[in-house]
Amino acid sequence: MLVTMKSILNLAEARNIAVGAFNITSLEGIQAVLGAAEETGQPVILQFAPVHETIIPLSIMGPIMVMMAEHAAVPVAVHLDHGDDFKKLKQALDMGFTSIMYDGSALSFEENAAGTQIAVELAAAYGASVEGEIGAMGREEFKSVGEDGGNQASESCYTDPDQAESFTSLTGIDALACSFGTVHGLYLKKPNLDLDRISRIRDKVALPIVMHGGSGISDEDFYQCIKRGVRKINYYTYLAKAGGMYVKEKAANAGDVVFYHDVTLWGVEAMKKDVLHTIQVFSGMEQKES
């Protein structure tokens, strides 16, 4: 069933859990995510990032995401991730996306807030939710992924709690993506998370906090982030890696002939297994079972 991101995050807030937001680049990815969500009975967010248009265009993938969300047996939001172009935001909303993210984090505070206000006004006409961002989650700012031998970013990269309070008041967003030590992509060493910063932001901002760069974080760190108010966790890199590495293993042992339809089935199998574990961690199911 297709719902807004706001309604899903309200549910997550009530349950004190986080909801996985899985970037989609293929039909097999949707099958894996929705299969795991329905098996666990948990809501999920399907999201598309414009950076993945080199793999498949939004014009093709978007309508499929919306259609499959509508037919799912659990609540599903369809979200545009990291939209920095108003034309792209409107394209997603016209397709039936129930949530958009305006990413003005590379701009000045004033420009970011002004652009986010426009996104909120645009989304309101569709009854859609909006995520905004304050801080930096790029590898070029954070060296905690192991580049150049460092493990710290400058203070200016992290989300300032007072700025976060002003930003949310000015914009009227439904969720706030914050920077506290995570980055996109593969981690080359253990990330250095500023957990106390999440708590300080939540003290100032009565909104769900969004974690970008969720792949590769330990289960215990996930629990600590969720405890402090993280309600949406973006996840893609390790999901794609799980599918790819399993296909590589199966193909190596398949003999002389490999059929493409087998490759897609292997990919779904491995990705669903990864999503199942991720949902169990985010929803606290794994803690209750242990």
Give catalytic residues, as residue numbers.
81
DSSP-assigned letters across all residues of 71-91: T-SS-EEEEEEEE--HHHHHH
For residue 260, what are the β-bridge partners?
none
The count of residues in the chain is 290
Q: How far apart are CA 52 and CA 273, in angstroms?
A: 23
Contact 282, 17 (CB under 8 A): yes
Of 25, 32, 36, nearest in space to 64 by CA: 25
Q: Which two tokens stand for residue 102?
A: 């305006």
* Closest listed residue to residue 95, CA positions, set 45, 52, 130, 61: 61
CA distance 8 to 115: 24
Could you tell me if 145 and 183 are in contact, meaning their C-beta atoms sit under 8 angstroms apart? Answer: yes
What 8-state DSSP symbol labels residue 153? -
Burial 170-198 (b: 16+ CB within 10 A, else e): bbebbbbbbbbbbbbeebeeebebbeebb
